[in-house]
Structure 1
Amino acid sequence: MDLSVDARRTGFETHLVINTPAALAAMSAAGSGQVSWQIPVKTKGLTARANADGSVSFVDGAGTVASSVAAPVAWDAAVDARSGNRVNESPVRMTVAQRGKGRAVLTLTPDQGWLVDPARVFPITIDPTYASGSIGTTFDTYVSSAYPTSTYSTATELRVGTYNGGGDVYRSFLTFPITALRGLDVVSANVSLYEFYSWSCTAYPFYVHTANGTTSATTWNTQPAPIAQWGSLTTARGYSSSCAEGRVSVPITGLAQTWSKVTTYNDSAIRLSASETDNYGWKKFYSLESSQDPYVTYTYNRRPNIAAAPTMSNGVTYNGSTYVAYGSTTVTSTATDPDGSTVQQTFEVHNDTTGSAASKISSCVTSFAASGARASCNPSPSLPDNATLYVRSAVMDDRNLWNGNWSPWTTFKTALSKPAAPSVSCPGYPNGSWSTTSPTSDVACTVTVPAASGANNQPVRVYVYVDGATTPTIVISTNQTAGTFGGISVPKRDGGHSVTVMSATASTWSSDKVTTSFGWGNTSLNTPTAGTTSTGMFTASATAKPQGNATGVSATVQWRKSGAASDTADWSTGTAAPSPHRLTPAS
């Protein structure tokens, strides 16, 4: 999509141009099926007011209209062959909202049914015209070789060429303010002139050169020399009804692109000329003093908006910091373009926020994505371990126009290493031991977390599983420090017991599990526990101390249905097994 601006003597006219069906589809997708535009307006002491006819006025404190925006209209490229008039037009709904002192927003919404009608002929143009301000021609004049000391700055016409074989030669000069073009990515530009007279209906060229500025005192004798030719047009209008008077446009895209890069002056002049020996080049145009003054039209591509702060696809937040577990992490951001153009993002990862070449350690470039869509890539080379890093994104549209500013920094940390396993200690009950004397209270155990190679890789929590629990019995926070931590309690009931521990880093890397087992007192049934349910299968396990010189134990398993007549009735006996034995209850 393009934004075309026509400079007028009393203001400017803007055209929003949707060039292709694909551009329309992208805009519709970005707006969730609704195509509309928001145009910010600086009101400078005025208040925006919507009118019944669809226009918007800007009024002062006394209610006097200072300027207005006419009711907009949309049309497509279909033109009647005989009249030259547009045949497909549609009103555009315009609303206005005052957004605080000195600011308002116009919202333009075309008829969605008309917009997506398969009969549309592209490009489609939406025309909101703002009728205040002055960015048109600011000065024009012509000079005559037959009257070398005369001035013509108040004339209503401009002249080029000769009508008497070179006896009298005319050249015209026009001055335009160019600050409106400053910094723009100009796509196309034209000088628009109203030609009301030519020597004949035989088309002959006239030329556009740059020149130094002129004043009301400029004459043939004092005229500035031409600098460079930037455009020409072969035309003839105004001689007769066969070549009726009307506007002509001279392409000056290269000149407007040059003006857009100027920062040292605010106005620039052009010279119009034609053959100075051939009468067929003779032409007249209306000047600034007429109702058909000259102006410049230009279409430009607006810069994409600044990207959102990047995010990490596998990032995990701990204590307000984001950690990633892999050196090939994916970075993602979104960016929008005011013209609905596709955008490409470049991500840079640095080890500080100076943004210098020396601090950059990795980067990547995304594919082009629709305006507002997520774009991702994997920085290369891979990120270093145990580092605090900073990532940012820059945006470029499909005409290679950069926003010019980076997104906000996103800070993240890398923790790429698997931590060493912790150890567990239950004083008085070393791993593999069995005590004949049962403790009088639950047994307290501790877990020791070793120091990691780098602060980011230091575990932040320990998961503790007591007596074969499938979910953590307790989770101990280490505050990302090494050391010994308590809080583990083993129940005092007789039988075998176990404590399994596993540590995890902020980026979710987990250590190996470590288990210590011990027991005391008599044999104990470990599983199933009270209240366990099953769809038809139970696993029974028990722990007991080997007797005498035995190196292991065996067990006989008995079971019964609930509701038996007595404690000794209805028992079923399973086969003795040296290891856990799966039993199917009787039906």
Structure 2
Amino acid sequence: MKSTVGKLALGVAAVTALSGVPAAHAAEPPTAVEAASAQAAKTGQAVPVPSLTDENSTTVANPDGTLTATITSGPSNVKQGDRWVPIDTTLVAEGGVLKPKAAKADVTVSAGGEGPLATMVDEQGRKFSLQWPQALPAPKVAGNVATFADAAGPGADLVVTVLPTGFRHDVVLRTKPSGPIELRIPVRTEGVELGEAADGRLELRSDAGEVVAAGAKPVMWDASGRGKPRGDAIAPVEAAVRTENGAKVLVLTPDAEFLSDPKRVYPVTVDPTITLPGVEVDTDVATSWASHPGDAMIIAGTMPWENGQGGDVMRSLVKFDTSAFTGKRVLWAGLGMWNVETNACGLRVGSGLTAERVTGPWDENNLNWDNKPPTVKEGSSTVRAGLGRTWTEPCAGGPGFLTWGVTGIAQAWAKGAPNHGIQLRGADESEATNWRAFAASENKEQGVKPPTLAVVYWR
């Protein structure tokens, strides 16, 4: 199957036009879909169908009687009153705190001073709040990120990143500590309890004992991986949840040997991320590191380590809600991934990346190279282009969608195949260098698009 490059086609140019729209019964008023289809046929333009909008998708009626559903891997819309609006996690001052303009979770971040560092409340009213023992400085705010300089000690910043469904929190060590360090973060909860799973992950359990959310095992990594942990630039962080004076405290103990290593590239990020209610639907995994939900970027392909002593094979996984076209006749489907970085620019970069249908379940909070899910080749396609920028220079045209034809995959889901998502991997994983970095659904930078599935189907 030929690969395509550029903007994700959301219309029906890639499929054969169908004619004829079933007429509504004369005695019955037209449904919203029928009305939109009639208007589209009359005007020759696609018409939105608001009744088919939800937090993950929008749908339009096409002039030929088909529908096009545009589905994002994570929440992209949130309901405010009786209308859906795009999620916007940009932080703004409101009532003495910082809040995202529009997000699924009710999140507040400190604007400085006494009080919680960050708090989130889900739709069931369950609350998870990070405290801080000292008054916080006024943060530097950039989009959805609030940075509290030196709040965790000299050269150690607290960083809160607001996500569509919650937040992630990091401690960023800008400079090498003079000795071993321990980070103590008081936690307050309502309706949930923070604890440790048997495998070392952090998790939130409801009062009834149900796991509401879980984070990957806490880790830290240095700056050599360009924001992604890999190889010998990553290390686990010892984490313990203790009860002190009737209150929970998350205690993080970064490995002192890792921090003092002369080859360490600062800053070092200590990441004990956990979000409520835990609905991440895109992630990546590699031969040297496990998945880290909440990352703004996911990578697929092969990449050598900077020290030349090895490399990583990486795969990205994305999942979409396919209920909009289940049981329907799918005519065309395209997967769009917003390519922000590549090992080289151009239409033919290495063997490219292959999109395959995933056939087994996976847990983004407990995903590593040994338990990654199986896939099938039927319906797969390969794209060889590279967009965005390399590590040294921008590509002509900048970032944009790489688009895989995945009609066969969508048709399988429509006919009842279990939906476990799509995997992206290097077409030839024996290559030393052949990788692409994509925006994840958590990436809310200006102009960036989330993983998107566009499906044209007969209504």
After TM superposition, the score normalised by the length of structure 2 is 0.39
Greater relative contact order structure (CA < 8 Å, 6+ sep): 2
After TM superposition, the score normalised by the length of structure 1 is 0.31
Bigger-Rg structure (1/2): 1
